[in-house]
Amino acid sequence: MPTILVVDDDENQRLLYRQELELAGYTVETAANGPQAIDRVSRGGIDLVVLDIAMPGMDGIEVLGRVLDIDRQLPVILNTAYSSYKEDFMTWAAESYVTKSGDLSELLNKIREALAKRGLEAPEEESPAQE
């Protein structure tokens, strides 16, 4: 059961991702800011990071760099309200880039793809749509 770390300063967003990703069969952990996220990654056991960019204090771009410093292979999916960050070359280091939406299927697809690339089985969950 892959473990996903969701990093977002918005509490309701964290609640939404936890609920939906758990429903999709993943183990979900959350961090409310950059330092928390880095701390969690450095302790190991994280298979994928879903990272918000606009956060007070340390922003997502910086967190991305620090996380990759710890584990170059760890897939990080940038999940943000902006599309303009795609032009920031730092974001190229990310596994993929998702624009935030109420429809989480794109995010779930990207997660599955990233885990599959690394030989990690996506959990056999009931598809949300089917429910």
Residues near another protein (CB under 8 A): 10, 12-13, 15-16, 19-20, 23, 54, 80-82, 84, 99-104, 128-129, 131
Angle between helices 11-23 and 105-117 (to 10 degrees): 60
Shortest gap between Cβ of 16 and another protein (angstroms)? 4
Instruction: Indicate the residue among 104 and 115 with the shorter CB distance to another protein.
Output: 104
DSSP-assigned letter for residue 71: -
Shortest gap between Cβ of 84 and another protein (angstroms)? 8
Q: Please count the CA atoms within 13 angstroms of the CA of 31 that sit on its side-chain side.
A: 23
Instruction: Indicate the residue among 44 and 102 with the shorter CB distance to another protein.
Output: 102
Instruction: Indicate the residue among 41 and 85 with the shorter CB distance to another protein.
Output: 85
Shortest gap between Cβ of 96 and another protein (angstroms)? 17
15 vs 8: CA distance, rounded Å: 10
Instruction: Indicate the residue among 81 and 116 with the shorter CB distance to another protein.
Output: 81
Shortest gap between Cβ of 70 and another protein (angstroms)? 27
Sequence-distant (≥ 6) Cβ neighbours of residue 99 within 8 angstroms: 80, 81, 82, 83
As a residue count, the chain comes to 131
